[in-house]
Structure 1
């Protein structure tokens, strides 16, 4: 349960304090961590020690100690030396590793609970019972952040995120698949979505500088009860998917900012095709030339303002009017009329959604 690197760091820290060398082995005598320059073959000695009823013993010039996880023996600790001082320091070291086992087991239990909570795998009564047993508050405000990485992650990546986020005991970092890291973050009563946006940007900057790989961060809405955490997770997951289609230029996307894209994402493809066919008579609104598409997008960016659009495109106002008239003749939609503009905007988004879904099939 504890990684060999954690064991190595622990005994190196103990050695720096006590100036005594340590060695951690499994119950079969396999070396897991050591501060000894030369490691002797302790396999037979460990096997004999494990089989004996003694909890500590002096063998081959070392103090041997058994370390248990509840009733199951997990490790054998060796402290180099046979004196009383070595025995006392060795007992302290064994106690420290024993406590590490307990702490990591508790974190593992909490991690399992959070995973099942996110995936809606728990009954309502089990949520509150297990939360109470694990000392997790049930009535605090929380929000889910999903950090998507390009490359598959490992346990080290999760530990990095925990460290970068400050290892706050009330926040949880876990994963339910290969590329997404999930942060269950507790927020205060005064925190608003403006603060969440700032948290996301800080998180993105820290992780981007640390990993130097492309990241996307999405987050759901704030929930006030532990049973609603899965709701915020589903929202964050939806925001991540919808963001790739309609906001692919953004690295951070909030569920609350998805707008009409959230509705389009939930439409069945046959209905989308029917809509495009009825509005444009079989044509696709994204088949216009680059100049026309640039004009349309800039017109929407400027809230259908003809003067501002022509200024930003560096063209005469009459040239823009001519382009809009030409578009009206080919589509039957006048973008200067709000309802027609809305129809056209939705059509562009629908086509974008359809193309994205088609790309997933290949």
Structure 2
């Protein structure tokens, strides 16, 4: 790791406010890159170069200064990072007076550098994750030639079914301090959030989490989320963990549909995004909720091909088969403005027979078109989708 001059000067400025001695940081060639004595920056310090060459502490007394080019009395310690010397830190003063201070400064400087390196790795990893999900969410998974390589770099398994879950984190304006609000979008806060989530028992090794466009995004693997109940349980426990970071944090959640392949991830993401933005008093909102799904279809003028939730409803509808003549029954019911008596007459069946069929529709699909307007819209969407598929098969 090469220490930048800007970062080194920040470390020097911070440490000098604590130790009350001049602090220098030198690179491995002995050039001072940061100092409390600005006129010494970019000058050669022979003591610093000696500390690198000998890989050990160097102490310079007043009587020895003339033997060291560019030096003042002080103690120079090599800076070690992952068992490699990356520079030297020195504290100006007679060695007996600053010896312990210099060792402390060395330790603190190494901690600063370790932290900076960790954050750099974190930013790089998060950037690579963002590039991957950008491809997936933009519906480019079928055309991206390097998708497998991108996924492998961030340990993302493309072969697993997943569901996209979005968490929006917002402070309560009246109770949340301004500095906390600023920290909310900082790398450190995001790192804390991701660490907290990833340490949860319900977070599987194949789950994928990152911040994407200001929302916490989790691509939950099917290993842990094979049912709506498990997804909701995971989401509820995640909200509780997030609020451990700050109890005054507002958390809203949008859940998309389960995907079977990478090319469907973008659909699940847009469904989750719509559910997240849907005006509702509920904290957790899912595209599988019929009122949200119906509005999603309406606002997106969606015929069903790009809506995984509608496809799921249609598959449950088709699982009923032809036993109850449900397709004709529903079409007639909709054509007659959901009037049960009129529909039964048009179909030449008893009213109780029609009621039996509608009970089966509720049992298999969960829709009650005669009781809920949104259910009627979804029934119409399923029928339209079935007609389109029939025409395509001709």
> Given the two structures, how large is their TM-score scaled by the length of structure 1?
0.52
> Which digits, 9 at most, give the CA deviation of each residue in 1:10-69, with x for residues without a partner?
xxxxxxxxxxxxxx985552227659941533257578345669583748313132769x
Q: Distance in 1 between matches of 2:32 and 2:235?
A: 52
Judge conservation of contact 2:275–2:287 (CA < 8 Å) in 1: yes
Q: 1:126 to 1:81 in 2, by over 3 A?
A: farther
Matched, 1:63 2:77: yes
Q: Distance in 1 between matches of 2:231 and 2:190?
A: 21
Q: Distance in 1 between matches of 2:264 and 2:161?
A: 10
Displacement of 1:137: 2.4
Displacement of 1:188: 0.5
Please give the secondary structure, in 2, of the residue aligned with 1:148: strand
Displacement of 1:170: 4.3
Pairing of 1:1-362 with structure 2 (within 5 A): 26=6, 28-31=8-11, 37-38=18-19, 40-43=21-24, 48-50=31-33, 54=49, 56=52, 58=58, 60-65=74-79, 81=99, 100=118, 103-104=121-122, 106-120=124-138, 123-151=143-171, 153-155=184-186, 156-167=188-199, 170-178=206-214, 180-188=215-223, 191-208=226-243, 210-241=246-277, 243-244=278-279, 248-257=280-289, 258-267=292-301, 342=370, 345=373
Judge conservation of contact 2:166–2:253 (CA < 8 Å) in 1: yes
> Which digits, 9 at most, give the CA deviation of each residue in 1:270-312, with x for residues without a partner?
xxxxxxxxxxxxxxxxxxxxxxxxxxxxxxxxxxxxxxxxxxx
Displacement of 1:144: 1.6
Displacement of 1:198: 0.8
Judge conservation of contact 1:65–1:94 (CA < 8 Å) in 2: no
> Which digits, 9 at most, give the CA deviation of each residue in 1:87-112, with x for residues without a partner?
x9899979956973674355234333
Judge conservation of contact 2:26–2:88 (CA < 8 Å) in 1: no
Q: Distance in 1 between matches of 2:170 and 2:113?
A: 41
Judge conservation of contact 1:173–1:182 (CA < 8 Å) in 2: yes
Q: How many positions carry a matched residue from both structures? A: 256
Q: Distance in 2 between matches of 1:48 and 1:106?
A: 29
Q: 1:29 to 1:215 in 2, by over 3 A?
A: closer
Judge conservation of contact 1:78–1:90 (CA < 8 Å) in 2: no
Displacement of 1:226: 4.2
Q: 1:112 to 1:41 in 2, by over 3 A?
A: farther
Judge conservation of contact 2:16–2:23 (CA < 8 Å) in 1: no
Q: Distance in 1 between matches of 2:21 and 2:208?
A: 41
Unaligned runs of 5+ in 1: 2-23, 269-332, 350-362
Displacement of 1:199: 0.9
Q: 1:218 to 1:105 in 2, by over 3 A?
A: closer
Please give the secondary structure, in 1, of the residue aligned with 2:166: strand
Structure whose CA Rg is larger: 2
Q: Distance in 2 between matches of 1:334 and 1:226?
A: 39
Displacement of 1:338: 9.9
Judge conservation of contact 1:217–1:251 (CA < 8 Å) in 2: yes
